[in-house]
Amino acid sequence: MSLRVRVLVWSLILRSFYIQPSQLRAAEAHNEPTYVGARVCAECHTGPASGNQYSLWLASKHSQSYAALTKPEAEQIARLSGARQEPEATVHCLSCHSSAANAEPRQRQRTYRIEDGVQCETCHGPGSEHVARQRAGTRSPCCREELRRPTKQLCLRCHLQQTSHAVVLKARAFDLEQAWREIAHPRPTGWQMGGIPELPASGGNQHPGPKYVGAYTCGQCHRGARFNHQYSRWRRSPHARAWAVLGTPRAREIAREEGVDGDPQRDPRCLRCHTTVGTAPRQLVASTYEIDEGVGCEACHGPGSEYMTEAIMRDRQAARRNGLREVSKEVCKPCHENAHAKAPRAGLSSPALPSNIQWAQ
Ligand code: HEC
Ligand code: HEC
Ligand code: HEC
Ligand code: HEC
Ligand code: HEC
Ligand code: HEC
Ligand code: HEC
Ligand code: HEC
């Protein structure tokens, strides 16, 4: 290889590893906005007075689109598309199934989570400037410059006919008008900012024993092929939407029938079965726990703060001594037996306990 070719090859290799200082300066000079992730948007865009945007999104397929890349069908699609890595690591798949797939690491804040799939900023553009301005209280009629108002053209960038998908999924054709209505999350008149509610604090201040750390923490290890994609499998299940569905019009209908008025996402009578910790006091949860996870890993496996270190996890006895629970049907019953029995007209499919408890995995 001639020297010039070698220099060229090396500079290409290095460029793929290092951010060029000149690039960084350019980004700073332009004050380029970065991706903050959907939970940051939820700081203001959730709750009934805001139009429940976050919950409507979390209850939609878009929030599961990254998790979908671990379905058996994904492997088939990947094969047909000639992908050489697993779908979760293939930029081609991620470009439609997640946010910021092609962004440089510096364009993603620490709060950004690829696991959230197609999220607010996938459609509205990176939101750091909007968030900074709104947090500072500069309530300018801002957003037209800071954020994108999506057009139908944007949907079609991902929702286009693809042979690989058509062959494997045999899905119905994409109906743009209907899909647009399906994902609608308008602001109501008299719009007000909301936020993800906090758990009620209890009277006492001492709560010894294990604390709930949240499914996202478990998911830091329980992911990938080695762990049989446990986090993504859970993410695709209705349990991961259990809190989100309390923010839908359907939930308000059910709540009315059951004599609960007010916001179901804050009412202990609904939270009891639609979240991991139900009505447990705040002192029982670690700072990493998130109420919006719905029914997370620890709802079935027990609070994890004491057993979740790798050394204990690998030791069955030690894990059980530290609070890891055997999952039997007794665990499912308090939530599933007679759920919504008082609202037969709500038409829930089968409040009875499913016969196969393996379903959860
Ligand atoms: C600190 C509070 C806050 C946070 C966090 C926040 N927003 Fe907003 N957002 C607002 C307020 C307030 C408005 C209304 C401003 C107005 O009417 O001019 C708004 C308006 C919007 C609009 C409407 C724009 C339009 O054309 O009228 C969109 C879209 C939006 N936000 C998306 C987001 C996204 C995406 C995120 C996360 C990246 C986010 N917001 C985070 C407070 C917030
Ligand atoms: C051009 C955008 C685009 C690309 C690239 C793409 N997908 Fe998709 N994918 C979609 C859309 C849109 C859907 C929704 C289903 C439909 O209507 O076709 C979907 C659906 C799926 C589903 C079904 C999800 C479910 O809930 O059942 C799987 C699995 C999937 N894609 C896997 C992949 C894999 C693996 C790759 C990479 C080899 C990939 N996709 C690349 C846009 C894309
Ligand atoms: C799949 C794309 C998509 C995703 C994901 C998405 N939005 Fe939107 N958003 C839209 C579209 C489309 C509109 C309506 C634009 C219009 O009517 O002109 C909209 C409108 C809005 C508005 C303005 C509503 C109004 O009444 O003016 C807000 C605020 C907003 N979105 C916030 C969010 C937040 C917060 C998230 C994430 C929790 C989110 N969006 C996720 C596509 C999306
Ligand atoms: C970045 C790519 C992307 C964009 C942009 C996008 N979507 Fe999607 N959408 C997906 C993927 C991927 C899925 C499949 C998720 C799954 O099934 O796990 C999906 C699923 C959906 C579904 C559910 C389909 C079903 O079979 O239940 C609807 C409805 C939808 N999108 C509407 C829209 C609309 C309306 C827009 C434009 C405002 C839009 N999407 C923009 C990638 C995208
Ligand atoms: C630091 C990484 C890590 C974290 C965090 C973690 N785990 Fe584990 N977990 C492991 C390992 C490693 C194993 C053992 C796997 C094996 O031996 O095949 C395991 C095993 C398990 C098992 C099977 C154990 C048995 O004896 O039957 C369950 C159930 C489990 N973990 C649940 C959880 C839950 C729930 C959380 C969150 C509260 C969690 N784990 C957090 C690494 C972790
Ligand atoms: C005793 C436990 C329990 C309580 C309390 C409870 N739920 Fe549920 N809820 C469930 C179970 C279990 C399901 C799933 C049932 C099924 O799909 O068969 C469910 C499903 C739902 C659904 C999904 C329906 C759908 O169409 O997909 C909504 C919405 C809902 N509940 C709202 C509420 C509201 C609002 C409250 C408070 C008034 C509440 N739930 C209280 C256990 C409960
Ligand atoms: C709805 C209840 C439920 C939820 C939520 C749940 N699991 Fe499980 N999990 C189960 C059941 C049931 C089993 C099977 C137990 C058995 O066979 O004895 C199981 C088994 C496991 C195992 C052992 C698997 C094996 O092959 O031995 C691991 C590890 C695990 N779960 C981790 C998780 C993680 C991580 C999460 C959250 C991302 C989670 N689980 C969420 C009910 C649940
Ligand atoms: C903390 C309460 C809670 C526990 C514990 C729990 N579930 Fe659930 N489960 C729910 C709620 C709430 C829903 C409805 C979520 C939704 O539709 O959005 C649900 C939904 C389901 C569904 C989907 C039903 C449908 O019609 O789509 C199955 C299956 C299921 N659970 C199985 C189990 C099994 C098996 C166990 C025990 C290993 C278990 N659950 C433990 C609360 C719970």
Does 322 score more than 90 pLDDT? yes
The two tokens of residue 357 are 């408890």
Calculate the alpha carbon distances from 155 to 93, 175, 333 in Å: 16, 11, 41
- Domains along the sequence of the chain with CATH: 34-177 (1.10.1130.10), 215-360 (1.10.1130.10)
> Cα separation of 299 and 212, whole Å?
9
Residue appearing with tokens 């007075």: 49
Q: How far, in Å, from the CA of 287 to the mean position of ligand 7?
A: 23
User: What is the model's pLDDT at position 139?
Assistant: 57
Q: How confident is the model at residue 50 (pLDDT cuts 50, 70, 90)?
A: very high
Residue nearest (by alpha carbon) to ligand 5 atom 30: 313
What is the 3-state composition of the chain as percent helix, strand, coil, each rounded to the nearest 5?
Answer: 50, 0, 45
177 contacts: CB under 8 Å, gap ≥ 6: none
In this structure, which ligand is nearest to the CA of 311? 5
In this structure, which ligand is nearest to the CA of 301? 5
Q: Enumerate residues lining ligand 8, CB below 6 A.
A: 238-239, 241-242, 245, 273-274, 295, 299-300, 327, 331-332, 335-336, 349, 354, 357, 359-360
In this structure, which ligand is nearest to the CA of 37? 1
Q: Enumerate residues lining ligand 3, CB below 6 A.
A: 38, 41, 45, 53-54, 57, 62, 118-120, 122-124, 149-150, 183, 185-187
Tens-digit pLDDT profile for residues 233-260: 999 999 999 999 999 999 999 999 999 9
> Cα separation of 177 and 181, whole Å?
7
> Cα separation of 248 and 53, whole Å?
10
Regarding the beta carbon of 101 and ligand 4, being less than 6 Å apart is answered no
What is the reported pTM? 0.93
Is residue 38 within a helix (H) or strand (E), and if so which, with residue range? helix 38-42
Range with the poorest average pLDDT among 204-218, 232-246, 258-272 = 204-218
Among left, alpha and beta (phi > 0; psi -120 to 50; other), residue 225 is alpha
> Cα separation of 260 and 271, whole Å?
12
139 contacts: CB under 8 Å, gap ≥ 6: none
Tens-digit pLDDT profile for residues 274-312: 999 988 888 899 999 999 999 999 999 999 999 999 999
Regarding the beta carbon of 266 and ligand 6, being less than 6 Å apart is answered no
